[in-house]
Amino acid sequence: MGFIRLSQPGASSGSSSSAASSGSSAGGGNNAYYAKPSGTNADASSAYTSATTITITGLSFDFTRNDIESIRQMPAVGNDTVYSDHADFSVTSGVITVLGATFAATDEFIVILTGPRHAYDQGQNLQLAQVLNQDYDHFTSVDHIIDEANVAIGTVRKQIFAESYRGGSFHLKCSGGVTFTIWATNDDTADESADTGWVDVSTAILGAASLVDSEGIYFVDTHQMPLKWMIKYVTSDATNAVDAWINKY
């Protein structure tokens, strides 16, 4: 029986602490290596299958021979043997075959694999699964981005940065000769000074070419957010009221 040690992509195996023994928890450690806590959610394990094969269990992801950094065979009597040549490995459904190996059922094994990036590996790190919830953390409070009355006749643009957000909603309210439209862009040079670089997406968002002297709330849940949104409104009368609330998540 043995343990799995997981290194982050790009991490140097030389930066690890000593390999885990049968009594250690291997939980978290330094920046290079990490694994599940011990106990109920024990480390993934490696186990003797035959004289040339080891079976890996408990991982939350599939791996290939290129993900294997090394395999340490620790016999009950005699010296350890380390296998690290990818040409000697083959992997089928979590079973590693090592060319030229002579494994015994009494041996212990440490298999070092390159795993997912530590920051996102909720499956192999219980603590992250408990404290890291990106969908919950990544949102903004509702922003009353436009709160105006008696705006002079003309055109006003307000941009909203949306990169890395998954969705949001527009709550628009206007009266007294006000026309709302919604625009989007992936051009980082586009700004509020003009329509240049922006695309009118009013029909997709509002369900119509514009919103005139009315109120509505419109949800964006495509998971395909642009770099920026822009709310554009045009006033044709100087006696008016304009409000827009934005929520991003």
Confidence (pLDDT) at 165: 84
Report how far apart the first and last C-alpha atoms of the chain are (Å, whole number).
45
As a CATH number, domain 137-248 is: 2.60.120.510
Strand partners, 146: 244
Do residues 19 and 7 touch, judged by C-beta distance below 8 A? no
Residue 53 pLDDT greater than 90, yes or no: yes
Confidence of residue 58 (pLDDT cuts 50, 70, 90): confident
Residues 197-235 have pLDDT tens digits of 999 999 999 999 999 999 999 999 877 789 999 999 999
Do residues 235 and 151 touch, judged by C-beta distance below 8 A? yes
Domain ranges of the chain: 2-132, 137-248
User: Phi then psi for 65, rounded to 5 degrees?
Assistant: -65, -25
Number of Cα atoms under 13 Å in the Cβ half of residue 166: 7
Quick one: tokens of 96?
Answer: 């590693």
Percentage of the chain modeled with pLDDT above 70: 72
